[in-house]
């Protein structure tokens, strides 16, 4: 496979194995940010295309990446905002119910727990060994369940859920299936039109290698009409690109997800960066990213197991992702191990008592060998 390390900044002396924390900018993105800064320094160079065309180009690239239509993609500033579009727009009433998992990332927890103020019952499934099981979710659902909200990839263990089985369960129960895809989109291939997923929100600063404060949400066409629009973004109004003929007393909103775009959608500092990173990912191919990470994580998991560490199911068939979690038996020992890795310039995260390893194209076998050298008893 092509050596992609030259496409990224040099992390020396650090070995960076933490893409699930922050995905670094490729060099092409850094160059594009320079162009964006020039636009802010010289606003006389800003044109209408920067405000109206660039968001649509980014929207199309995101749609192509997840197997959706551009009309189903809203540009957001975070996964939280994408989830909030549903949590605040679905018109929850007292007695309605939502099912979530305790293993969800906080944005996919608090957005729903906040509904309790309206009298909504939020059932929290507590998965065994961090793995969300269909039978546990089914037991928590009732005829009043309106939303099942789960993370595609666990941000702690790296284990992947069965989107098809859980989505079909939700639909059989008359519920919407809402997914936080932040730890998977860009690293694992997905075709949303082939899956029973109604909403998928994602932040762009991890596996999409985008800037912090950028993201998107997929809203299936059948869902959009069910969501109340709490704030009108003037850029999404029909005819807003013509200042000489702006609608006044009456205006029309398109029947597209873009009506839920973050205000000031054309944030050219962020969108220039995100567009460049999306171009990079699509040129490389998500399959290439996934294959490379798998080649690094599979032997790592085997060796960690041989050394006596407990490894999560993130490398098991059906549960794989580009994240691997492992621990040393106790929280104290695992925390000490994480400190040792960081002191040895091996950048990994500590999440819920797990050391989390998340490589990318800039990593090679020597980086994994160095990690193993540090953790070897």
The predicted pLDDT at position 240 comes to 73
Q: What is the pTM of this model?
A: 0.95
- Please report the sign of the dihedral spanned by the C-alpha atoms of residue 17, residue 358, residue 102, residue 116: positive
Distance CA 212, CA 205 (A): 5
Assign 3-class secondary structure to 296-335: HHHHHHHHHHHCCCEECHHHCCCCCCCCEEEECCCHHHHH
Secondary element (H or E) of residue 16: strand 15-16
User: Domains along the chain?
Assistant: 5-17+286-375 (3.90.1150.10), 30-282 (3.40.640.10)
pLDDT score recorded for residue 321: 96
- DSSP letter string, 271-295: HHHHHHHHHHHHHH-HHHHHHHHHH
For residue 300, count CB atoms less than 10 angstroms from its CB and return exposed for 0-12, middle for 13-18, buried for 19 or more.
Answer: buried
Give the pLDDT of residue 314: 78
Q: How far apart are CA 306 and CA 302, in angstroms?
A: 6
DSSP-assigned letter for residue 188: B
Residues of the chain scoring pLDDT < 70: 129-130, 243-244
Q: Where are the beta strands (DSSP E) in 54-209?
A: 73-76, 97-101, 121-125, 145-151, 176-180, 199-203
User: Residue 232 in contact with residue 253, Cβ under 8 Å?
Assistant: yes
Query: Can you read off the two tokens belonging to residue 115?
Result: 């509904």
Distance CA(219)–CA(59), nearest Å, equals: 13
How does pLDDT run across 314-364, given as a tens digit for each residue? Answer: 778 888 999 999 999 899 999 999 999 999 999 999 999 999 999 999 999
DSSP 145-165: EEEEEEESB-TTT-PBP-HHH
């Amino acid at each position: 496979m092509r050596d992609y390390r030259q496409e990224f900044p040099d992390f020396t002396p650090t070995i960076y194995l933490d893409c699930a924390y922050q995905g670094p900018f490729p060099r092409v993105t850094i160059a594009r940010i320079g162009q964006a800064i020039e636009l802010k320094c010289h606003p006389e160079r800003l044109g209408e295309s920067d405000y109206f065309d660039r968001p649509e180009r980014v929207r199309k690239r995101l749609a192509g990446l997840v197997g959706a239509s551009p009309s189903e993609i809203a540009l957001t500033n975070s996964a939280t905002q994408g989830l909030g579009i549903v949590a605040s727009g679905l018109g929850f009433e007292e007695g309605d119910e939502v099912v979530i998992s305790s293993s969800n990332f906080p944005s996919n927890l608090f957005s729903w727990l906040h509904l309790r103020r309206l009298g909504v019952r939020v059932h929290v499934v507590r998965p065994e060994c961090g793995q969300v099981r269909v039978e546990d979710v089914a037991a928590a659902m009732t005829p009043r369940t309106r939303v099942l909200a789960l993370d595609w990839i666990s941000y702690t263990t790296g284990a992947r859920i069965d989107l098809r089985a859980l989505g079909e369960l939700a639909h059989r129960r008359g519920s919407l299936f809402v997914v936080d895809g932040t730890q998977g989109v860009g690293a694992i291939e997905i075709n949303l039109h082939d899956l029973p997923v109604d909403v998928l929100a994602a932040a762009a600063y991890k596996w999409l290698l985008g800037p912090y404060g950028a993201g998107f949400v997929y809203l299936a066409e059948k869902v959009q009409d069910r969501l109340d629009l709490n704030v009108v973004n003037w850029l999404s109004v029909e005819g807003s690109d013509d200042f000489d003929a702006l609608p006044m007393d009456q205006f029309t909103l398109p029947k597209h997800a873009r009506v839920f775009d973050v205000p000031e959608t054309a944030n050219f500092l962020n969108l220039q960066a995100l567009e460049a990173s999306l171009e990079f990912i699509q040129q490389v191919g998500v399959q290439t990213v996934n294959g490379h990470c798998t080649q690094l994580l599979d032997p790592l998991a085997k060796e960690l197991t041989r050394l006596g560490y407990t490894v999560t199911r993130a490398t098991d068939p059906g549960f794989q992702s580009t994240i691997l979690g492992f621990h040393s038996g106790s929280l104290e020992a695992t925390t000490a191990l994480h400190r040792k890795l960081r002191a040895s310039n091996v950048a990994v995260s500590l999440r819920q008592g797990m050391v989390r390893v998340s490589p990318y194209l800039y990593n090679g076998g020597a980086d994994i060998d160095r990690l193993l050298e540090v953790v070897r008893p």
